[in-house]
A and B are shown apart, each in its own frame.
Chain A
Amino acid sequence: MRTEDLTSTEKTEQSIKKVLQKHRLSGNCHMVTFQLEFQILEIQSKERLSSVITDLNIIMEPTEYSELSDFVSRAEDRRDLLMFFQSLHFFVEWCEYRQRTFEHFKEKYPEAVRLPEGAVSSCMAVRSPREPGFELIIVWRIQIDDGGKVLPKLDLLTKAPRRALQLDETRVLETAPRGFRALLGVLGIEAALESLVKSLGVGEDH
């Protein structure tokens, strides 16, 4: 992180002293680079000293993470510097975990697993080598809620040949997304994905 303390002006008004600090800060959190410019107004009166962030501007270098732009606007509006740093930290951690997990499955099952968006993919497609018409697509989004909490959100999309859908009397394919969410709760992310891949008969020799 690099910082630049720009100016400091003082205005005195009776027994109240006001100091305006301007800061410019640039840094990065792993692969995400940002630059901040903010102002802090310090007001010292007889009873108390208050320090308020009066202006916050955040410039992010364009990333593949589209989820960040909303979050950054919110942090700017609320002048919430702390939330920006902490949420960014957790967000990037989750992104790295997601990338590691997807890459692990790609390595383990190179024939069956496909990452449509490349290394920083937000989804993983699993295809059965024996039945290429069937595909399970796991979508893993990382969201930052209104309070700055970072939450992973996983969903399952299914793709099957029309004939298979007609034969699907027990509506397995229809209920698969709900089942997947339940499975996540029980096994956790990695084990749930592993079991999905195995369910397509990948890596088995019949």
Chain B
Amino acid sequence: TAGTLNLGLGVLAHLERLETQTNRSRKNLDPQTETAESALEAKIHKLRCLRDKLRAEVKERQARVKASTASVEPDQTLEVNEQEAVEGKQENMKAILQAYRFTGLSGKLTSRGVCVCISTAFEGNLLGSYFVDLVIQKPLRIHHHSIPVFIPLEEISAKYLQTNIQHFLFCLCEHLNAYAGRKYQADQLQSDFAGFLAGPLRRNSLCNLLSFTYKVEPHGQSFPFCARLLYKDLTTTLPTDVTITYQGTDALSTSWEEQRVCHENLFLTKPLHQVFTSFTRKGEKLDMSLVS
């Protein structure tokens, strides 16, 4: 009992000493260091919380992965892979078929023969597509098609269909692309430059004969020029004959004549809508000069 008492006294004395030590150190504390300390304590607390959260997340994920791999049997994974491979091949085939359309000429086999698809484009603009359904027989014949009636399909077939099918297709391709290009130019003129025209653009269905009355200055009052464009070569998108007549009220001077000749040349060498774009630009330049 004396021993325990001594131990107890000793412990008590130790505790007393610690208490006085703490009290003393508390008194020495700077208010600044106190706040710094508490700030650090708060940070430590925050980081510990984050660490615990991340640890929990890792554990959760590991558990999930284990569960999923455990549930899938080896046979099923092989089947899934095979199916994926087949689907992949199908996707690839579809992609290849689509890619062939970009070449302008593509086709697919039918029960009777082959259906050829001709895609048209002009200056990077993708335009319509047409098809020709061929029956492989002797003689080769066209079952049905979507070629417009004004394209000389009978003529081209008569020349090449039986002897050289490739040439038949390329010739048809040429005609259709040229028609699509001419139509595109006429449509562009009609929609984007209607302000330059007096009345509608007159054209035939093949778009190889165009006639319109136009002006060059966007703010001009009268329409001094009358144009007639003829595209004799059905495989081109530029006219072969251009006739511009001056029908303004001013007396025919050299400047009008110069302009007339210049226009004839422009229409022969540049696509229709580009000619009018250049008129717009010239007009803008003119405006700028007036302002300055």
Contacts and interface: CB of A to CB of B under 8 A. Distances in A.
Contact of B173 (A1, A50, A86): A86
A83 to B, nearest CB: 9
Interface in A66-101: 78-82, 85-86
A123 B258 CA distance: 49
A5 interface: yes
B125 A51 contact: yes
Contacts of A79: 123-124
B29 interface: no
B121 interface: yes
Interface of A: 1-5, 23, 25, 27, 40, 50-54, 56, 78-82, 85-86
B103 interface: yes
Contacts of A56: 124
B125 A82 contact: no
Contacts of A86: 103-105, 170, 173
B121 A81 contact: yes
Given A54-B124, A80-B121, A85-B103, 8 more contacts: A27-B99, A51-B125, A52-B125, A79-B123, A79-B124, A81-B124, A82-B104, A85-B105
Contacts, number: 60
A16 to B, nearest CB: 15
B65 interface: no
B95 A5 contact: yes
B174 to A, nearest CB: 9
B220 to A, nearest CB: 27
Secondary structure call for the B interface: mixed
A10 B23 CA distance: 71
Interface size bracket, B side: 20 to 34
Most buried by A among B96, B98, B99, B124: B124
A54 B124 CA distance: 7
Given A85-B104, A86-B173, A4 B95 contact: yes
A48 to B, nearest CB: 8
Given A1-B96, A2-B96, A86-B170, A53 B124 contact: yes
Contacts of B173: 86
Given A50-B125, A79-B124, A3 B99 contact: yes
17 contacts: A2-B92, A2-B99, A5-B95, A40-B126, A51-B125, A51-B126, A52-B125, A52-B126, A53-B124, A53-B126, A81-B102, A81-B124, A82-B103, A82-B121, A85-B102, A85-B105, A86-B104
Given A86-B104, A86-B170, A3 B96 contact: yes
- Best-buried of A2, A25, A78 by chain B (most CB within 10 Å): A25
B102 A25 contact: yes
B27 to A, nearest CB: 69
Contacts of B124: 52-54, 56, 78-81
A85 B99 CA distance: 12
